[in-house]
Amino acid sequence: MKRLGLLAALTLVACVQVEAPRETPVTPIVDPAPPPAPPPPPPEPVRDSCRSDELQYLIGRHKNEIPVPVNPALRRVACTTCPVTMDYNPQRLNIFFDQVTGIIKEVKCG
């Protein structure tokens, strides 16, 4: 009889549904992104090699107001429609004026 009781108990235990333990979802641990790097500082203004920045005030004035150069070999004064050589010399200062009015239109190196 003890065997019958034991057999019945085992049968009942076998019929009981056992739920598997529920796993909680695993959230991956992610390091927060570092803050973006600050933008680099603006570059220092490059001083032009012919010092044209010193004569930018001439733009809009008459060509007669052009100061006498210290070194004439490094300065070219020409009208905007006049033919000039195409060689580039970064040390040479170019001053271009309008042929009709004599008004200075551009001051640049080259």
- The CATH number that applies at residue 62 is 3.30.10.10
Dihedral sign for Cα atoms in the order 86, 90, 46, 72:
negative
Q: Is 82 contained in some domain? A: yes
Q: Count how many domains the chain has.
A: 1
Q: Is 44 contained in some domain? A: no
Q: What is the DSSP letter of 14?
A: H
Q: Is 81 contained in some domain? A: yes
**For residue 93, what are the β-bridge partners?**
75, 109
> Above 70 in pLDDT, residue 16?
no
Q: Is 42 contained in some domain? A: no
Q: Is 39 contained in some domain? A: no
* Of 35 and 109, the one with more pLDDT: 109
Residue with structure tokens 């004035």?
A: 61
Containing structural domain, residue 71: 52-109
**For residue 41, what pLDDT is reported?**
80
Q: Residue 65, class by beta-carbon neighbours within 10 Å (0-12 exposed, 13-18 middle, 19+ buried)?
A: exposed
Q: 10 Å Cβ neighbour count for 89?
A: 15
The predicted model scores a pTM of 0.57
Q: Is 75 contained in some domain? A: yes
* Residue pLDDT, tens place only, 73-103: 899 999 999 999 989 899 999 999 999 999 9
User: Who contacts 42 (Cβ-Cβ below 8 Å, separation ≥6)?
Assistant: none
